[in-house]
Structures are given as C-alpha cells and as structure tokens.
Amino acid sequence: MTGLRADAVRNRKRVLEAARAAHAQSGTALCMHEVARRAGVGVGTVYRHFPSRQALIDAIAHPFFERGLALAHAVAETEPQGERFARFLRGFAEALASHGVPGHCMWDAPAARPVRTELRGLVASFVDSGRRSGTLRADLTAEDAFALLWTIAMLIDASDGRRPEIWRRHVELALDGLRVGAPARLEAPPFALGQWDGFVHETAARAGSGEADEL
C-alpha cells in the first residue's frame, strides 16, 4: 500500500530510468523536457514525482548514498581499528569514481542530510579508533577528516573519469600525511609534469578572449 496508483508507480519508475540515462549523457546538466520525452510522459508528470530538477538529481544519487553508508558500516564492523579511516576513504573514493554520481550532490542536497549525519558519525568513530590505536595523528578531528573526504570527492568529480592516478595518489598522500610516524614511500608517479591542463575540465564556454584589463 504505497498509496500510489498503479500508473503513477509505473511512470515514476520510467522517469527515474530516463533520468538515469540522461544523467549518464549530460550529467547534472540534464534537461527536464528531455527526461520527460525519454520517459514517454509529459513534463508535468516528471514534476509531480520530483518537484525540481535538483530533487530528480538527488533521487539519482540516492543509491550512491546508500552504498556509501553500507561501506561505512561494513568498515566499522570488519576492519581493524587502526585501518578503518584509510579503508573507508579508499573505498568511498573508488565507489564515487565508479558510480559516476557528482560527489557534490552528497553535500549539496538537503535530501542527503540524514545520510551526511550518519556518515559523519561513522567517520568520527573511524578517526577516533585510528587515534586511539596510534595510527592516526592525535590532533586529527572528525571535522578534518570530513573536509578531506569532501575535497577528494570534488577532485574525483572534476576528474570525470580521466586519469584516476591523480586522485588515487592524492588519497594515498593524504592518508600518509595523517599517519603517525614516517610516511611510507609512494611508488614513482607514472606520469610527467605538464598533464594537468585538461584534467579539470574547462567549462568550455568558448570566447574567453584574453581580456587583460585591470580594475
């Protein structure tokens, strides 16, 4: 008894499916009319189920939130205390990269707030475990860890599938830096300087003539 009529349920599913497809193509720039067309419904229907574009995107991102939480719980239950934060961070990064959800949804969306809250609690516990077991530096806070999580999500977003070495190295470097004692040596980087351009995608936006005026 969802209270929804049969056709409503069907349409909702179709819309979500269409939205996922559109999202795969255009990312968060997906167009509502386009989604409606793909789903074979009117725009009005799309809006009845998802009151705004953002809500629709949130809905698409939702499975990823679930996955993140599941990961955190798994880590909390099975990983050794000292390694929890590291394992979680790596797993989260990989999940984010493979799921293709814009990580910023996770932080932007009001809808994701409960998830964030729960996640924060878990991350805090990881940090705590790590500190207590002496693997993480004693002055690390849950807030610091969360900020790191955020920046890494952004970096992965921006990389958009290209050159995962960059964010993987970033993750390892960061984890290493939070560890107590001498850092492990990372293997030699498999790329040379000068490849940054094009990593973070330019907004294209043609034009950009080298305007050079001041004040």
Partner DNA sequence: ACCGAAACGGAGTCCGGTTCCGCTAAGATG
Partner DNA sequence: CATCTTAGCGGAACCGGACTCCGTTTCGGT
Binding to a second copy in span 83-122, by CB under 8 A: 100-102, 104, 107-111, 113-114, 116-117, 120
Binds DNA (CB under 7 A): choice among 7, 17, 66, 143:
7
Other Cβ atoms closer than 10 A to 199: 14
Under rule CB under 7 A, residue 48 binds DNA:
yes
Q: Is 80 in the site for a second copy (CB under 8 A)?
A: no
Q: At what angle do helices 84-99 and 53-78 cross, to 10 degrees?
A: 150
DSSP H stretches of helix in the chain: 6-26, 32-39, 43-49, 53-78, 84-99, 103-108, 113-132, 142-159, 164-178
138, 131 contact by CB (below 8 A): yes
**Which of a second copy, DNA, none binds 143 (CB below 5-8 Å, type-dependent)?**
a second copy
**Stretch 9-28: interaction string toward DNA, x if CB under 7 A:** -xxx----------------
Among 17, 24, 43, 70, binds DNA (CB under 7 A): 43
Options 52, 141, 151, 195; binder of DNA; rule CB under 7 A: 52
Nearest to DNA of 32, 154 (CB atom): 32
DSSP output for 28-77:
GG--HHHHHHHHTS-HHHHHHHSSSHHHHHHHHHHHHHHHHHHHHHHHHH
Q: Assign 162 to helix, strand or coil.
A: coil
Instruction: Give the burial class of 214: count Cβ atoms within 10 A of its Cβ; 0-12 exposed, 13-18 middle, 19 or more buried.
Output: exposed
Nearest distance from residue 162's CB to DNA, in Å? Answer: 25
Binding DNA (rule: CB under 7 A), the pick from 32, 111, 154, 180 is 32
Q: Is the Cβ–Cβ distance between 85 and 145 less than 8 Å?
A: yes
Q: Does residue 49 touch DNA according to CB under 7 A? A: yes
Of residues 149-168, those binding a second copy (CB under 8 A)? 150-152, 154-155, 157-158, 160-161, 166-167
Chain residues binding DNA by CB under 7 A are 3-8, 10-12, 29-34, 40-45, 47-49, 51-54, 205-208
